[in-house]
Structure formats: structure tokens, C-alpha cells
Structure 1
């Protein structure tokens, strides 16, 4: 029913009050990181299908930063002149958002493009993390004794950028409020603590029901390594959960609604 309602709204949005057809909205370019794990590309393609189901008249294209085709520069180079909104399939501010994506945009001057904010932090991410934990065996109802023995490690890729760390900590805070147990961010690389270290720290505090929440958009090497460190349950990555499709469209709409200062291109506010 939600999909039907969204499709109907999408169709009506293309018709103005006087019955004339409005211009088509700018294409959405989903910017994925890329991975050698074939499951990652499959996951991103499934997510794109869900986005198209929610908004059938929106053109959605894919561009990768590395490792998979199509690469973002090629996607932008092949686009006709006009507008485009780049939505990073990334969870925090970091090097890719601040440098790689703007460089790709600058190399496509024929395209009037803007970049949306990264996906996180946002309540829809917390909704997805919660759902993945429940799928893995997290109990939606828990006794006080079980709650005092429980904790969650939010496993993220890691970045040296302080903004990225702040974004991940904020997501951990939001997830802790949802679950009612402590949530500690930990990282697969480039930052501390590591996921195994965070698991050990929980155990030292007599919390032995330790779950790992996978703060990755798709399966891959880092997600697999972090899951292996779990002492109890490990959730699947965010993947193509319906809330992720809604969040991508939310960031797209935000970017369109945010006036872009000239001559600099700016990120839409989070």
C-alpha cells in the first residue's frame, strides 16, 4: 500500500494545477563506494530498484568511487547536460564526501550538479540498524537483568576525519536511545577502538550479551571481519532495507530544497 501511494504521488507531482506537465525532476545519481565483494554490487542494485519503486518517474543512475563499474566520473561524463543530484551512499562526512565527489563533479562541467548530505546520522538509519539486530536475534522485550548484561558495538569502516567520527558517535547515541542499552562505536580501520577491543571492553564491564550492529551499506571485507568479532550476535549490513530507500530519497529532496550558494557548491545540511 505504501508503494502504491508513493507511485501515485510521484505521478501527480508531474502534473501542475492547470493540468500541464511539469519538467521531469533532475536525475538522482547514487554514489556507492565500490567493493570487490560481488554481494555489494547486487545489494546496491536492489536498493536502486526499491528507490525506483517508490518514485517511478525519477531517473536513478549509479556511479562508484572505486572498484566497480560504472565509475562515478564515467556516469557523469555520459550524462546529458542539465541538472543532477548526487546522493552519497555513505554514512558520514569524510574524504570521499569532501574531496572525491566534488572532484568528479568538477570534471563534468557540462552538468549542473549538486551533492546531497551523506546518509548519516539520521533516524531512518537507526530504524534499519534496529531491524537488522532484531533479524539477528535481538529481543524486542528484555528483562532488566538481561539489559544490564547487554551492549552493542556499532561497527563502522573508520575514518581519520573528525567529522566522520562525530557522525558515527551520533548514530551510536541514537541507537542506544532506541535499544535502552549502551552502544559503542568501533572501527574496522583508521580509527580506534577496533571492534574486538570494544567487545573486550564490554566484557570487562560484565556485559556478556554483546551484539555487533553492522554500520555498512553492503556486505564486504570489513563487514565480515567485524561480524566475526561478535561474542553473541552479529547483524547484517544495512543493505536494501526499505528505510534506506526512503532515506536516499529524503536526501535527494533535501538537496533540491536547499539553495546552493554561488559560485561554490555546498553540501545540503544534514
Structure 2
């Protein structure tokens, strides 16, 4: 006897849906984040899957589940994956009563994690950079928030909102400019150069990315005085995953889900 509860008993399963990467460090980051979620909520069955490149895939994970499931995208913005790919996979899983939580960002908990990563990288309170003598004057320090980027303007608007949340979180309210590593502009390198041209002597990059990989390396090459590490399995990020799960269940308690309810997909909450 394994002690695992029956599929239809207890609270809904939390299925964390990650993007997927060829890089082992990136996959390990997802696994570490999911482990922290499990530690925070031991009463929940917490599973994970990937949208691309890594197994189990989202369809594979859905096939192996029963009963009620809340899908929490481990994605920072509500782009194509959240709007199209996840609902399409659910349409092929009529045996589940499933809901899709909101994307993780923007959110103040992400600002907390970003600020911690900047602190770890050496971004000092006075908005200077390591190894530079003297106190910075007005306009001396600024930040670029480097996100993956999307062809969806709404997703990029979410990054801009996240930049403002980060600015409010940091001492001295430094300038924080959103930038995009693909599909939109400015690029982090362009944003760093523009801030230098405006008179900011010290410009750092905050990596608005979940894990290491190609985009993280590209962010590090933007010409800033320092680049923070990706968010990784930060405690605030794990808390945010559980918050998105609870939000989705709150929607259920408040009435039927809004949006599409397909005959083949059961009850489904479209991402909001």
C-alpha cells in the first residue's frame, strides 16, 4: 500500500506547467521550484510537466491524472502558451475537471524575488555597482528588466508593469526600463545603451527569467555593470505558485468559470 489518496479524493491536483528547455540546469531549476511548492503545501498532490522539449509533456501529464486539476503555468507572462496551447491540450482531456490559473506575472512577489537576486549580485542600496568608488549622484544608477519577450503586446505590457513593481520595491526608486530578449524591443543591450546615453553611469540588468539558459546568457551580454541571476526556486516564487492555485479555486467557489466551457473539455477556466 503506497498511502497515495484516490485520484478523486482530497483537494484538486496542482499541475505546474513549465516551458521546457534543452539545458539540464533549466530543468533542474523547475524541479527545485516544484519541490519547494510541495514543501509549502504537503496536503496537495503537486505534479509538473513541460510544454516543449522535456517529458512528461502536458498531454502526457493530463492523461495520467483523474478528477479535478488546477493547471498553474510556470510562465511569467500571459502569452500564446497560456492563451492557446494549454486550453488546446485541455480540450483533448475530457476526463478531467480542469482550471487554468493566471500566469505568474506581474506580481509583487516577483518584485521581491527580483530584488533579492539583485542584492545577491551586488546591486547596492545606493544604486551603484561593485568595484566603483564614490557615491553616485542623480541619474547614476538605473536598471533594465530583461524579459524573454513575446509577439503578444499584452504579455509585453505585463513586463512593463513588472518593471514598475520592481522600481517601487527598490530603495531610491531607480529607473527600471523593460527590455526583451526576442520578439519585441528594445533589447537589453539597446536599453542599457540608452540609459547610459541619458546620463546613468551605472546600469544593471535584472533577469526576469525563471531559469538559466540561452536567454540568461544573452541578458548577461547586454553591457551592464552586473546582471542578476534568474529567479530560480526562490521562496517568493513558490508562494506565488500556490497563490495562483488558490485564486483559481476561489473562482470556482464564487461560481461557474467564465469563458469557454467546451463539451469535450469539462469545466475550464480561461486564463485571466
1:171 paired residue number: 162
Per-residue Cα deviation, 1:70-119 (whole angstroms, up to 9, x for no partner): 11110001112x10000000011110000000011111111111000000
TM-score with structure 1 length normalisation?
Answer: 0.87
Higher helix residue share: 1
2:123 paired residue number: 138
2:3 paired residue number: none
Counterpart-to-counterpart distance in 1, 2:110 and 2:50: 21
Counterpart-to-counterpart distance in 2, 1:43 and 1:168: 21
2:139 paired residue number: 148
CA shift, 1:208, in A, is: 2.2
Counterpart-to-counterpart distance in 2, 1:146 and 1:42: 41
1:236 paired residue number: 229
Q: Name structure 1 gaps, 5 residues minimum.
A: 1-22
Q: What secondary structure is seen at the aligned counterpart in 2 of 1:145?
A: coil
Moved over 4 A (4+): 141-144
Counterpart-to-counterpart distance in 1, 2:179 and 2:259: 38
Mapping of residues 65-144 of structure 1, within 5 Å? 65-80=51-66, 82-142=67-127
CA distance change for structure 1 residues 55 and 112 in 2, over 3 Å: closer, same or farther?
Answer: same
The higher relative CO (CA closer than 8 Å, separation ≥ 6) is in 2
> RMSD over aligned Cα, in angstroms?
1.7
CA shift, 1:140, in A, is: 2.4
Q: Does residue 247 of structure 2 align to residue 261 of structure 1?
A: no
TM-score with structure 2 length normalisation?
Answer: 0.87
Q: What secondary structure is seen at the aligned counterpart in 2 of 1:253?
A: helix
Aligned length: 247
Mapping of residues 241-256 of structure 1, within 5 Å? 241-256=234-249
